[in-house]
Amino acid sequence: MDPPPSDSTLPFHFDNDQRVYLVPYRWWKAAQESTSDSDVKIGILYTATPGPSYAGPMKIINNIFNSDLLFNLRREEESSQNGDSGEVGISGRDYALVPGEMWLQALKWHSDAKVAMKNGKSCLAAEDDMADVYPLQLRLSVLRETNSLGVKITKKDNAVEFFRRACKIFSIESELLRIWDFSGQTILFFMNDKNKLLKDGQRQSDQEILLELQIYGLSDSMKRREGKKDEIAGQRSNGTSSSFCHSLMMNGTAGNVNGNLGRNTSITFSAKSGEAGSLGLTGLQNLGNTCFMNSALQCLTHTPKLVDYFLGDYCKEINHDNPLGMDGEIALAFGELLRKLWAPGASPVAPRTFKSKLAHFAPQFSGYNQHDSQELLAFLLDGLHEDLNRVKCKPYVEVKDGDDRLDEEVADEYWQNHLARNDSIIVDVCQGQYKSTLVCPVCKKVSTTFDPFMYLSLPLPSTTMRAMTLTVVSTDGNAKPSPYTITVPENGKFEDLIRALSVSCSLGVDETLLVAEIYNNRIIRYLEEPADSLSLIRDDDRLVAYRLRKDTDKDPLVVFMHQLIEEQCIPEKLTSGSKALGIPLVAKIYNTVNGFDIHNLYLKLLNSFLIPAGDCNDNDTSGNAAAEEVRQMDDTSRDTIASLTDGEAATPSDMKEVDSSSDAELQFYLSDEKGMIKHFKIAMNEPVEVTGESRRMYVLVCWPKKVIKRYDTRLLSTLPEIFKSGFLAKRPQESVSLYKCLEAFLTEEPLGPEDMWYCPGCKNHQQASKKLDLWRLPEILIIHLKRFSYSRFLKNKLETYVDFPIDNLDLSAYIACKNGNLSNRYMLYAISNHYGSMGGGHYTAFVHHGGNQWYDFDDSHVSLISQDKIKTSAAYVLFYRRVAEDYN
C-alpha cells in the first residue's frame, strides 16, 4: 500500500492517468528505427549527477533510522534531439522514459521481430530475459538553479526488493548514467513548479512530487547481460543493426497501457514462445454462462489490426455525437478490456465492466443465460463502428438507378455512398460488398444493388440423405392410396420433400400437394411451411399427401373422418358405441353447398375403395344392390360430382339425388378437427356454409357395419411409417467443404412468401428469384456457419463437420469483380466453437498466436493445441485475414 503523502509531498497526476515506463534505451531505440522519420519522437536528455552533500559517486544514506538513495538529473539543454549522437545507448547505461502507448508499440515491434526470426526472416531482435515489470516510487523536487531534478528513492515508499534493484539500476559508480525522457512529463514538473513560484512569490524548497515509474527490462539479470556485450557486438558485426540491444521478445503484438500491475508486487511473465502467460495469452473468467461472450471476445481481441488500433490512441476517434452510437461507452469498455488481455503476465480477467455495458445497451444479453456468440459479434461490431464512426454528420445519399450502366461503376458509387456515412476502423477492416440481383417472375424486371456486409452467414448443405415414405391420396376418387419412398437431404427443408415427392408421384403442373400428419385416424397438423426443417418429422410419424388442383386454392377444404358404429348412429351414442376408422379423405368444395352435395362428394371419394360385386362375400342382397347403384350412377351425376373435386363445382340444383337407402346407411355430422360433433345430422336439402379463417370444414361420417363390408377399408387403414429403422449401423458423421457452403450461399433461389419483393415493373409484390455474388472482400473475413435452425415448433443444431482451409482460403473463383488489385486469399487465425446442444452447451475459441502455434481459450484456461485438432464439428464462426497473392 502507498504511504500517505506528507504535507510537503505533492502527488503528480498524469494526463489521462498515463503511465510512464523506464526501459533500456537501446531496446527503445531499436523499435524506433523501424518507424518512419515523421514518427521519430523527440526526447529530453538528463545526466545523473551526485545529490546534495555528495561524498562519492552516489550518495546513499544508510543508518538505523533511514535508507535513501539520492541523486540529481541534470537537464542537457543542447541535447534535445532524438538521440542519434554517436554511440548513445550502446554502453547499456542509458535509459528511456516512455509513455504507455509508446511502450506498447515498441513491445509490439520486438514481438513481431521475434516471430519473424523464428520463421527464418531477417530481423533486428535477439532473445533476452528482461521479463520483470514492477513499480518504483520516486520523490522529485525541482532544482531550478541547476536546471535539475532532485531524485529520492526510499525504503519507506518501496518494497525492500524493489529498493535493492533501484540501487543497482541508478548506480553510477562504474560509468555515466543518462535518461532520455520521451514522455514529456519532466517538462510538466518544471512548469508545475514555475506556476507555483509565480503564484506564491517564493519557493518552498521542501516540496516534493511523488512519481511512480513502471520499471521494465531491468531485472537482477542486468549484470549477467552486461557480460553478453561481446556476444551482441559479434551479432552486430554479422549484420545486426548497431543500434540494437537486448530486448524482451514477447509472444504477441503489444501490451497494456493501463494494466493493473499491483504496487509492491513484481509480476513476471514468460518470454518463451508458446507458453501461456505471454502477451495476449490471457483468459477471461466465466461470470455465469458468459462463455459465449468470452469466445467472441477472444477472437476479436486477437484480430491483428484491431489489436494495433485499440492499443493506440483510439479515444480521439470516439464519436460522442452519433445518435446511433453509445456515446463511446462500448468502444471504451472493449478497448480497456483488450488492453488488460494484452498486459504482460496478466492473470485471467473478469470482464464485468464490459458485461455491464453490454447489458445496458443490449438488454437481450442481460442476465446470465446462454446466448449466441455470433449474435454478440454482430451487435459488438456494429456498436464499435457507430461509436468510432469518423463521420460526425451523415449526409443524405440518394440511390441512383443502375440501369444501362456498368456494374463496376454502380458498385463504386454504392461503396462511396456507404463510406460517406460510415467510416470507422470496423469499416476499414471488416466490411465487404456483395452484389444482389432480383428478377421478377412475371415481367422479368431485373434489379441490381451493391450492399455492404460485415460477415457471411453460410448455410450447411446436407450430403447425407434420408429415406422417407409417404402415402399419396387422390381427391377425385380415381386412384387408390399409394405409398412412395423418396430420399431427401437429412438436414433439408420441407420444400425439398415436396420437390422430391412431386417427381416421384408424377404430379401434374396443375396439381399441388397438401401434406398432413395422421394420428389416431385424425389430422393433427398440416405441413405447409416450405422453410420448416425436415427434422420436425420423426421416423415413426405417418404422413399423407393429398393431391389437389392448383386452380382451387381459394376454395374451402372439406375433411371427411370415418366412424364405425355398432347400431343406428345417434349423437348421444357416438362416443360410447363408435370406433374411428381409416385415414381422413379431403376434397375442395364451394363456399355454400347442401347436405346432398356433401353426400355425393363423399361417395365419389369412396369409388376407389369399392369392392366389385363378384368379389363381395356379403350375402346381403340389399347391400349388393346399393353397391351396384353407386357403380351405375348416370353420367350426369358423375359429371356433377367430379366437378366438385376438379374445381368446377356445380350448383346444388344440378345434383341428382341418390337412392334414399344410401342416405340412411351413411350419416354425416359437422364436427371439429378432432371429430367431436358440433351439430346434429346434416340434412340433405339444407345448405351448409363454410365459416372460419381456416377455410376448412370437418365432417364426421358414421358407418354401419353392413356398409363397411362393401369397401376395402384396408386401404384406408394401412398407413406406413416415415421410416422403419430396424437394426441399422450408426451412420458416419456428415461432412461438407467450406467451398460447398459458399456455393450454396451464392446459389440463386426464390424468395419466401414472407419476403415478397415489390417489383417496380409490375407495381406489385412478387416472389422474385434472388442471386448473391461477392464483389468486394474485406481485410478480415468473418464466416458464420449457420448451425442453428429455428422454426415454429423446434430449435435444432446441425453437427455437420465443415472442412475449412487453414492456410489458404482462395476465393478468386467466387468474386464477381475481377478488376481488383487486392488478394483474394485468406489465412485462418481464430475460431469460435460451440459444443453441445441448442440452447445450452459450451463455447470456446481457438486462436493462432505467435509463429505457427494455436491456443485453446476455454474461459480462464489457455493451453496449446496442435493445428491438426482445430478442425471439429463444433466450429461456428471462422475468422480469416487476407494474405498476399504470392503466399505459398
In whole angstroms, how far apart are CA 546 and each of 132, 516, 675?
78, 8, 19
Q: Known catalytic residues?
A: 291, 842
C-alpha grid cell, residue 374: 455470433
Whole-Å CA distances, 669 to 83, 595, 598, 675: 103, 10, 11, 9
Compute how many other C-beta atoms are within 10 angstroms of the C-beta atom of residue 425.
20
Residue with cell 446441425: 798
DSSP H helices, 5-94, are 25-32
How far is 747 from 745, CA to CA, in rounded Å? 6
Give per-residue burial for 55-84: e unless 16+ CB within 10 Å, then b: eeebebeeeeeebbbbbbbbbeeebeeebe
Closest CA to 10 of 193, 212, 207: 207
CB atoms within 10 A of CB 667: 21
Instruction: Write the DSSP assignment of 466-517 as a string of letters.
Output: EEEEEEEE-SSSSS--EEEEEEEETT-BHHHHHHHHHHHTT--TTEEEEEEE
Intra-chain end-to-end CA distance of the chain, in Å: 55
Beta pairing class for 465-473 and 482-489 = antiparallel
Rg of the chain over all Cα atoms, to the nearest angstrom: 41
Closest CA to 114 of 274, 268, 256: 274
Q: Which residues, 6+ apart, have CB-to-CB distance to 467 below 8 Å? A: 485, 486, 487, 723
Distances (CA, A) of 315 to 94, 259, 303, 318, 443: 32, 17, 19, 5, 53
Which residues lie closer than 8 Å to 818 by C-beta, 6 or more apart? none
d(CA 632, CA 611): 14
Please report which residue ranges of 709-786 form alpha helices under DSSP H: 714-717, 738-746
SS3 779: coil
Spatial separation of the C-alpha atoms in residues 601 and 640, rounded to whole Å: 9
Nearest-angstrom CA–CA distance, 271 and 268: 9
865: which residues sit within 8 A by CB, 6+ positions away?
A: 846, 854, 855, 856
Which stretches within 747-800 are classed as H helix?
A: none
Please state, in angstroms and rounded to a whole number, the distance separating the CA atoms of residues 127 and 110: 9
Q: Which residue has the cell 456468440?
A: 373
Dihedral pair phi/psi, residue 90, rounded to 5°: -75, -25
